Amino acid sequence: MLGVFFFAVSGSLLAARKRFDIVASLILASLTGLGGGVVRDVIIGAHPPAAFAQPLYFLPPVIAVVLVFFFFNGVTRFRKTLLLSDAGGLGMFCVAGTVKAIDFGVNPLSAALLGVTTAVGGGLLRDVVANVVPSILRQDDIYALPALIGAGLTALLVQFGLFNAVTAVLAALLTITLRALSIKFRWHLPLATPHSQAPGD
């Protein structure tokens, strides 16, 4: 729920920056907080998805919208807090998403990819719907890779019977730490091609 909330805040903040109204804010907050899990559940065949099976999941987006409405300036001032909170959501979602996929009989590698989908899918939907280039594609730091590492580690732990509350927290913390370090030290990945772009191509 905490992960949903922090993701939802980023959706609502995008609505505020774009001068959308409060219903648009609620739509973007819900998409960001719950979209990744819904996409995972639709792919593995969990009907209805968790967000629709348990309506309490829509409470964090509502709270996020209210907070952004009343405290927008305050929220943006805590930019570092927000980035860290988002990293927290990333860590929790990639572990939980991988485990749920394995529970539904998906093989470990695909389960890890679905864990990443859970973690980054909400932010992707937020940006696609708001018609901006997704931040996951234009990151100046590393975003999806820590989630992939956390999800891959989770799949390995389950595979070798070592997954429990402690190792789950460790996998999430690893993701969060890698993400935080990548923000602090502005880690970059190589571009899709090191060659410069041919003009007019």
Q: Minimum distance from CB of 166 to a copy of itself (Å)?
A: 28
Rounded Cα–Cα distance for residues 38 and 61 (Å): 15
Burial (0-12, 13-18, 19+ Cβ within 10 Å), 129: middle
Q: Residue 90: what residue type?
A: L
Q: Which residue of 22, 62, 84, 170 would you call a contact of a copy of itself, by CB under 8 A?
A: 22
Q: Which of residues 81-100 bind a copy of itself (CB under 8 A)?
A: none
Peptide bond into 49 cis (omega under 30): no
* Closer to a copy of itself by Cβ: residue 165 or 190: 190
Q: Minimum distance from CB of 24 to a copy of itself (Å)?
A: 4
What does R_g of the chain's alpha carbons equal in angstroms? 17
By CB under 8 A, is residue 176 in contact with a copy of itself? no
Q: Minimum distance from CB of 68 to a copy of itself (Å)?
A: 6
Rounded Cα–Cα distance for residues 93 and 143 (Å): 13
Q: Minimum distance from CB of 75 to a copy of itself (Å)?
A: 9
Q: How far is CA 153 from CA 36, 80, 83, 164, 180, in A?
A: 20, 27, 23, 12, 18
Rounded Cα–Cα distance for residues 70 and 84 (Å): 22
* Closer to a copy of itself by Cβ: residue 4 or 65: 65
By CB under 8 A, is residue 166 in contact with a copy of itself? no
Q: Minimum distance from CB of 120 to a copy of itself (Å)?
A: 8
Residues at the site binding a copy of itself, with contacts judged by CB under 8 A:
12, 15-25, 27-28, 38, 42-45, 47-49, 51-53, 55, 58, 65, 68-69, 72-73, 76, 104-107, 109-110, 113-114, 124, 127-134, 136-139, 142, 144-145, 188-195, 197-198, 201
